[in-house]
Amino acid sequence: MKNQTNESFDELERRRRVRERRRKQKKKQKQKQVIYIGGKVLILAAVLTVVLFVVNNVFQKNYVDVRAVNMPEWVNQEFITPNPYSRPGTELKQINQIVIHYVANPGTTARQNMAYFDSLKDQTGEKKISASSHFIIGLDGEIIQGIPLYEMAYATSKEKNVDTISIECCHPDETGKFNDHTYDSLVKFTAWLCQNLKLTEKDVIRHYDATGKDCPRYFVAHEDEWKKFLQDVKEARKKEIK
């Protein structure tokens, strides 16, 4: 009897220990699981933070409130009439590049060329022309702005018009070479735009670079002159421009 009791007791004790061990094992497993899940959550949070940081930086890097950019007083704002062919009023949300053009009409003035863009509103023919530019630089170096920075111009191509602004330049003859007044003004103004739109000379392109068009002719024919122009812009944008 005594033996049996002892055996039962031992058996009970053994079972109790087994239960205890299982309970502890389960507890340990649960703890491991919590640590595992916790670790995963931490890693996910870290990855999310990095992704958000990168995305934020990429999008903020070039972000400029275009409507808040005020033109210097040496730019003459003579906005053309809103119309479907030269000033459609489409909002430019972001300016990623500056496109340089030549007017391809030797000897004409900036005002004449802007007046031409404005006159497109009165087209009556069957085939309508769409053309314009934000800025035109004249033979005396004068700068006329015909379209606000935050509106699209029909200057380069369907794809490029949506995130670029355009500068047309007047020229004395067929070669398309700009005179010194026009050139100096173009360097200064392009540098000013870079400063105020958080861009650099790397964001300055020729119409030719976007579509292959022979524009601006002199800078297409003379690659070295184009490089020199970009270098001049680089130097100018590092200084204060008044």
User: Which residues make up the interface to Zn ion (CB under 5 A)?
Assistant: 101, 207, 215
Which CB sits closer to Zn ion, 19 or 225? 225
Tokens 């802007």: give the residue: 114
Please identify, using beta-carbon distances, which residue of 8 and 175 lies nearer to Zn ion.
175
71 DSSP 8-state letter: P
C-alpha closest to that of 98 among 67, 62, 73, 57: 62
| Rounded Cα–Cα distance for residues 162 and 154 (Å) | 9
- Residue 56 beta carbon to Zn ion: minimum distance, rounded to whole angstroms: 35
Q: How far is the CB of 133 from Zn ion (least distance, A)?
A: 8
Could you tell me the smallest distance in angstroms from the CB atom of residue 101 to Zn ion? 3
Of residues 191 and 215, the one with the C-beta less far from Zn ion: 215
Least distance in Å: CB of 153 to Zn ion?
11
- The C-alpha angle with vertex 170 and arms to 167 and 172, in degrees rounded to 5, equals 155
Nearer to Zn ion, 177 or 207 (CB): 207
Distance CA 190, CA 172 (A): 21
- Is residue 194 within 8 A of residue 95, CB to CB? The reply is no
CB of 222 to Zn ion, least distance (A): 16
Contact by Cβ (8 Å): 171, 179: yes
Comparison of 171 and 207: residue with beta carbon closer to Zn ion: 207
Here the tokens at position 126 are 């069957």
